[in-house]
Structure 1
Amino acid sequence: MTYYLSEKLKVLSFVAIILVLYIHSGFHDIPNEIQGMAFNHYLQESISGMLGRCAVPLFYVISGYLFFLHTDKGISDIGRKMKKRIKTLLVPFVIAALFFPAFYLLMEQLPFTGNYINGEEAFSKNLQLPVAEILTSLFWHVPEGTAPWAFHLWFLRDLIIIVAISPLLYYVRKAIRGSVLTFVLFLLSFFQFEVVPVYALFWFMAGDAFLVKLDKVNTYWIPAVFIVLSVLELAFPELPWKQVRIPIIALGIVSIWNLYNRIVPITFELKKHKWLAIACQFTFFIYLFHEPTLNIVRKLLVVLLGHSSLGFAINYLVSPWIFACLFILVGYCFKKCLPRNYAVCVGGR
């Protein structure tokens, strides 16, 4: 991996986490939010829905590329990477999963906080459930749902599952070409599987098979097609867009990948851009703990900006950046004051 590519992955990961913040900063069509505010609806759908849907697949693509990088020694390298992922993925997942209910329980003890967190009922009622159901909701998914209490952790949960089956992936990948395996997973993504996250697995293996080849796909028509399809999807949402979701997202990822190459020169060095370099250090920290803390920022802004179309629009546009700046500061202080604790929380990143 070249130095330019290494820096590129760091910057694009930070861009992706900003898009994730936009996804979770949107307001809904319910009373006292953006019901009937068409401009706000289309603004959110354009950023969170059309562009934002590329964020998580991009994380999987990068993860797949990095996982199978430097595995020339065979299954022993896969075992080494699996062992490393216990520290870098599993431990942070457990900590973040426990942080989510702990934060809600803390908020219940503080007066005047109910309006700044989601949920109509006290979270402590969940702790009256059977132990097995509590553990399932913490680390797998809530009843009748697809994500755990800390709903944003579904990405990390599925990534851990993929790493757990990586020896099998390694042998299948070795038996057939990576591109063939990716195509098979694409076909399987149209079906529902209870345990195996096929959708995530598709992007993970696509990163291994195609990421380094994207630089060769340097054409203007790809972002143009992505934009046109996104506009059509906004205009005609009743059409069966779900059937072509993956190809459209792939066009978006290729567009982002090559746009970076056009904007950032080959001589770029992240260390020479102090604030961007600092921000990129806390991408994973922001991901782990942005829920439910992000809600406080965007709901406080509602108090300041009001329940108007313009107020909601400004709130939506700025809250991810305000939160990112605040959490970069929190992460920086945490890392400086308690470096060992911080290292454990983010898996040594």
Structure 2
Amino acid sequence: MNKDKIFLSWLSPLKFVLTCLIVYIHSYNAQNYGLIYNLGIHSSTLWIEDIVSQNLAHIAVPLFFAISGYLYFRTLTFANLKEKLKRRVSSLCVPFIIWNAIYFLLFYIITHVPMIADTLNSTAVVEFDCKSLVGALFFYKQNYIMWFVYQLILYVFFLGPCLLLILKNMYVSLLTILILAVVYSIGYLELPNLSENTMMIGIYPDMLAYFIFGGFLSIYEIIPPSKLDRKKAKIIALLCFIVSQVIWSINHAEYKDWYLYSLNFLFNIISICSILFFISSFSDKHKSNINIFDYSFFIFAIHPFLLECVQKAFYIKLPHSEWVALIDYILSPMITICICVVIGKLIREMSYPLYKILGGR
């Protein structure tokens, strides 16, 4: 079977795993239970949460951007650009607006019902006016998770043709990624105004670099490797993993110097290579009758509010201790993901066209 088809078939399970990792990132509850202030480095729960949320799950967002770039530029040409953009309207723009509207209405209702507002600690009242609507619908004010989709919209619709031109030349592509890495590394520490400006414009230089890097891997057929057998691909994946872990250990040795951001960027790039090379070494196409992997975007979009509700229930109903915090941290994402899948399945069965919109399909 074609290597390309095998690789693409495994991206769906990979995206589901990455989505679950993102839920665990948002499940971090050390501050809620006072672990940082009361126990600090002596807390086993804090150590476990740091390992999972800060270390293992650290690569999830950069890899998502790389996969998005890979899939977008894989068959993109100037001839089919218009058709690609048309499809991205239904898979990016429409879900972005719809989910932002849902969260806006949800928080409007919550903040105007005192009992619910007090339970969820929603102190800022959401007003139903023009300014609030614009902020909610187009700048995800109540729906912070949509910053990811917002970035993709900027890259695809505003920078897409320019990025395609850049990716036509291998050396220009690598130089662009390097420049973005420098802007990211310097901007966050040495030039705070530059960092603030990039945030205002909405362009995150590091995430744009990962998006371009994904396109680079696709256009130049580095992933899946056409000239390497699967054994060599696994060896490369292992070497990349070892290098990334060495970089990660250096990254946490100090905290104040600008080069740590450079090392962080390098860690993400090498980790992306490691995971994608490993996936490309699989010999069989992914086959499963379980369609749970189809719910990745739906889980991604709906999980913040549900996760907060589940964690709030743990916090209110159970005694506050280090071990309860750990149980909360482990179980809350699992419960949330299950609820998301059940809700998604119900919507899908009742109205598949509606689910296609909400699921970004």
TM superposition score category, shorter chain reference? 0.7 to 0.9
Give how far 1:294 is off: 1.3
In the superposition, relative to structure 1, how do residues 268 and 303 fare at CA in structure 2: closer, same or farther (>3 Å)? farther
Which residue pairs with 2:265 in the alignment? 246
Q: Give, in angstroms, the shift of residue 314 of structure 1.
A: 1.7
Contact 1:305 1:315 in 2 (8 A): no
The one-letter amino acid of 2:27's match is S
Q: How does the TM-score come out when normalised to structure 1? A: 0.84
* Change in 2 beyond 3 A, CA 1:306/1:202: same
Counterpart position of 1:198: 205
2:50 aligns with 45
Match of 2:15 in 1: 13
Q: Distance in 1 between matches of 2:278 and 2:316?
A: 37
Extract unaligned runs of 5+ from structure 2.
Answer: 188-194, 226-232
CA drift of 1:25 comes to 0.6
On the 8 A contact 1:162/1:201 being kept in 2, the answer is: yes
The whole-number CA distance in structure 1 between the counterparts of 2:355 and 2:312 is 28
CA, structure 1 residues 17+31, in 2 after alignment: closer, same or farther (shift >3 Å)? closer
Conserved 8 A contact 1:98-1:138: yes
The match for 2:191 is: none
1:93 is matched with which residue?
96
Q: CA offset at residue 111 of structure 1?
A: 7.2
The offset of 1:304, in angstroms, is: 4.8
Whole-angstrom CA distance in 2 between matches of 1:136 and 1:189 = 26
Matched residues in 2 for 1:335 and 1:343: separation? 8
The alignment's TM-score, normalised by the length of structure 2, stands at 0.81
How many percent identity over aligned positions? 22
Q: Closer, same or farther in 2 for the Cα pair 1:225/1:172, shift >3 Å?
A: closer
Distance 1:126 1:105, change over 3 A: closer
Alignment of 1:128-277 (within 5 A): 131-132=130-131, 134-140=133-139, 148-164=141-157, 165-174=159-168, 177=171, 178-190=173-185, 191=187, 192=195, 193=198, 194-195=200-201, 196-210=203-217, 212-214=221-223, 216=233, 218-231=236-249, 233-234=251-252, 236-237=254-255, 241-260=260-279, 265-271=282-288, 274=289, 277=290
Q: 1:255 to 1:35 in 2, by over 3 A?
A: farther
Paired residue secondary structure (2:354):
helix
CA contact (8 A) 2:12 2:293 kept: yes
Amino acid at match of 1:131: C
Report the counterpart of residue 59 of structure 2 in structure 1: 54
| Aligned mates of 1:42, 1:226 — CA distance in 2 | 20
How has the CA–CA distance of structure 1 residues 220 and 174 changed in structure 2, closer, same or farther, with 3 Å as cutoff?
Answer: closer
What are the equivalent positions in structure 2 for 1:296-315 lying under 5 Å apart? 296-315=309-328
Rounded to whole Å, the distance in 1 between the matches of 2:32 and 2:311 is 16
CA distance in structure 1 between the partners assigned to 2:240 and 2:30 by the alignment = 31
Cα displacement string for residues 175-210 of structure 1 (whole angstroms, at most 9, x for unaligned residues) = 564334333333333333242332221111100112
User: Residue 176 and residue 127 in structure 1: after superposition, are their counterparts in 2 closer, same or farther (change >3 A)?
Assistant: same
In the alignment, structure 1 residue 292 sits paired with structure 2 residue 305: yes
Instruction: Give the aligned CA root-mean-square deviation in angstroms.
Output: 2.7
SS at match of 1:29: coil
**Aligned equivalents of 1:341, 1:66: Cα separation in 2:** 24
- The 5 Å alignment of 1:314-333 reads 314-333=327-346
Distance 1:232 1:310, change over 3 A: farther
Checking the alignment, whether the CA contact within 8 Å between 2:7 and 2:279 is kept in structure 1 is no
Moved more, 49-58 or 84-93: 49-58
Q: Give the Cα–Cα distance (whole angstroms) in 1 for the partners of residues 255 and 48 of structure 2.
A: 15
Counterpart of 1:184 in 2: which secondary structure?
Answer: helix
Partner of 1:342: 355
C-alpha displacement of 1:322: 1.7
1:307 shift after superposition: 1.3
Superposed displacement of residue 23, structure 1? 0.9
Q: Which residue of 2 aligns with 1:4?
A: 6
Tell me by how many angstroms 1:303 deviates. 4.0
Task: Give SS of 1:213's match.
Answer: coil
Q: How many residues align?
A: 330
Shift of 1:311: 1.0
Instruction: Give the distance between the partners of 2:175 and 2:249, measured in 1 at CA.
Output: 31
166 and 182 in structure 1: CA distance in 2 versus 1, 3 angstrom threshold: same
**Are the structure 2 counterparts of residues 79 and 256 from structure 1 closer, same or farther at C-alpha, using a change threshold of 3 Å?**
same
Q: Provide the C-alpha distance between the structure 2 equivalents of 1:185 and 1:236, rounded to a whole number of angstroms.
A: 23
Structure 1 residue ranges without an equivalent (≥5): 142-147
Structure 2 contact 25–53 (Cα < 8 Å) conserved: yes
